[in-house]
Structure 1
């Protein structure tokens, strides 16, 4: 074992045992910026994680430390851990820039353990924390239920169908004797998961909504959404599933997995197919052709008509599924994103307003990070990339 290997292992060991110093934080920061040393450092992290797990170190604590140091979410199944970490090492060596993830990781560990530095605050001394699970359920009678803190509880009985939260997931049960509608809405800084009456799984990103009947008793299963929603549709022979997207597009399916991004401040509505097939239609424009997507494809539907007045559909044949699904998997994936795209995502997750002091800088980002980091850690990472910001209340000002 060479000197570097010993140094890496000792450094990681101190982090896991809570014995790290400020000097260790700076050392780790420096090492992580050196792509040539990343494979050895990641190997040391993997070895120490496995050693601690084998010797009875609390699994949850070991996992949490490893995730924060590595900047990823580790899988629950132990046999998958090595593959994930090794993949991370290869990815980091190949990436054009990993400083965003790495500097945020080290800063998070250093500042949260020792409470040093000045965190980003909302103007009243309150640190701006990342988003969380939560939503507002609007029942058929117009009453609303805040779901942020409910883990297991009956919510309502409507038309013969019960709505209840089980392990933090809203579930509908029963056949129903009348058609009534509910709406789930996530404000900025919230995400939520629910199961529709037919067993379909629905995940809402921040600033999103879905309206649906509490029982699919008719000939079709129709829903309406805004924002960004991921669907895992239960197959139902002879009863197609359809999604009206911000009143501008229609997606029809029988049984499949797909994601729809329809935020109003995005140029296009994007429907991305993971499994099965879907039919995408450009809403009210009856003259535009429908498109059938196959797995791995993405349909881009322009919000504004082209010069000829037509609103057609552009198909991307090899969509970046990992990037599309990062939000659902608890990650930011900024690879290839413009600064403007990144800031839109931060606005929704941290419930902030982003303004540009002198126009939007022309910068492309590279990097991934978990979404459970506070805004102060993220801003330090952006500064390392040459992006300077000033926070005033909940307004983030991007400086030239």
Structure 2
């Protein structure tokens, strides 16, 4: 594998050629110029007659979820056709540089990449400034006990933290756990600042993984008729089964998720327009105001003013953060920057507005910020790091 970028325009042309069998002269010229630029491009273009082989080659060469990408390209095509019917007719220059602003980022390998497209002469970028590098986030959190005292868990691997109401909080192999059967309801909160994520095993055996900039509040013992926790931010839960005692998650003091025993992810950051609950296994009921819906595995509820269900969800993308990855399939620069802000503890500023750039691909979250930016810059989005942790998007 020798490339990490393929423009979304090229994917659209490949898709059109496969589906319709022909292209406009200008489109055909653009695709032929791309195919002639390398033997690898030519090999892909020669697969147009067999869509299955073409998708397989795209997946192999670019680490691309090609089925998902193909669906998104088809959706973009429909949107464009619909827009063209509504909009006044105007002359459009179809031929544009195939390495332009809508580049799709694709990974050649974790920590290793190659780039073979033509680059314009450019000023030194942030990635050339080694002193500006920011390391990746790591495991760590702050535990707030019932009396208000706080304990940093960043470097604790094995230790007894506190005894509360007959329950012992301790860290075992870097995971916070609770032992004992206390009856006194005292509350603890685990908070992950930016640049940290953490795993906690709740008193009932439920496992919760917290993403960066998140917190979960829970009792040291579930002694009542239900198991109730409060979440802000993002967390993945594997809930211990107990049919007699439902597990409830209150989200930002607004929405609620009720389960009996299941696996699901909740994304509920304050700077996100909706709360997303994605079900992996089992069954959950989501509640937003007076509206309620039941999710099945593979579905996602998006809760804003109401509840919107989606049955086409990329589970790999939803769970990428837990698995140590950034999955940027179909993501715009604003969504990507929100993830980088939380993981690298930076502030992002858009100097000239938000670039209309779409990415596909995966990057290891173990990479430093500098390495991630060096890959993103191949789309011709430029960055400047100021005042230590202020990232300015230049275009």
TM-score by length of 1: 0.70
More helix by share: 1
Gaps of 5+ in 2: 2-37, 45-56, 70-102, 115-126
Closer, same or farther: CA 103–219 of 1 in aligned 2, 3 Å? closer
Asked if 2 retains the 8 angstrom alpha-carbon contact of 1:100 and 1:382, the reply is: no
Pairwise CA RMSD of aligned residues? Answer: 2.6
Question: What is the CA–CA distance in structure 2 between the aligned matches of 1:170 and 1:35, rounded to whole Å?
Answer: 50
Partner of 1:89: 60
Partner of 1:342: 336
Where do residues 348-363 of structure 1 align in structure 2 (5 Å cutoff)?
Answer: 348-363=342-357
Asked if 1 retains the 8 angstrom alpha-carbon contact of 2:107 and 2:113, the reply is: no
1:397 to 375, 392, 395: 392
3-state SS, counterpart of residue 209 of structure 1: strand
1:318 to 312, 322, 343: 312
Question: What is the CA–CA distance in structure 2 between the aligned matches of 1:280 and 1:249, rounded to whole Å?
Answer: 7
Partner of 1:370: 364
The Cα of 1:91 is off from its aligned counterpart by 5.7
The Cα of 1:389 is off from its aligned counterpart by 0.4
Closer, same or farther: CA 87–201 of 1 in aligned 2, 3 Å? farther
Task: Report whether the alignment pairs 1:276 with 2:282.
Answer: yes
Asked if 2 retains the 8 angstrom alpha-carbon contact of 1:120 and 1:391, the reply is: no
Partner of 1:235: 241
Partner of 1:244: 250
Question: What is the CA–CA distance in structure 2 between the aligned matches of 1:245 and 1:259, rounded to whole Å?
Answer: 12
The Cα of 1:383 is off from its aligned counterpart by 1.3
Gaps of 5+ in 1: 5-31, 39-85, 109-115, 122-126, 303-310
Closer, same or farther: CA 376–93 of 1 in aligned 2, 3 Å? closer
Partner of 1:294: 296
Question: What is the CA–CA distance in structure 2 between the aligned matches of 1:87 and 1:184, rounded to whole Å?
Answer: 42
3-state SS, counterpart of residue 340 of structure 1: helix
Asked if 2 retains the 8 angstrom alpha-carbon contact of 1:297 and 1:317, the reply is: yes
TM-score by length of 2: 0.71
Partner of 1:253: 259
Question: What is the CA–CA distance in structure 1 between the aligned matches of 2:310 and 2:303, rounded to whole Å?
Answer: 11
Task: Report whether the alignment pairs 1:177 with 2:183.
Answer: yes
The Cα of 1:363 is off from its aligned counterpart by 1.0
Question: What is the CA–CA distance in structure 1 between the aligned matches of 2:210 and 2:226, rounded to whole Å?
Answer: 22
Partner of 1:48: none
Closer, same or farther: CA 37–216 of 1 in aligned 2, 3 Å? farther
Q: How many residues align?
A: 299
Asked if 2 retains the 8 angstrom alpha-carbon contact of 1:227 and 1:264, the reply is: yes
Asked if 1 retains the 8 angstrom alpha-carbon contact of 2:382 and 2:393, the reply is: yes
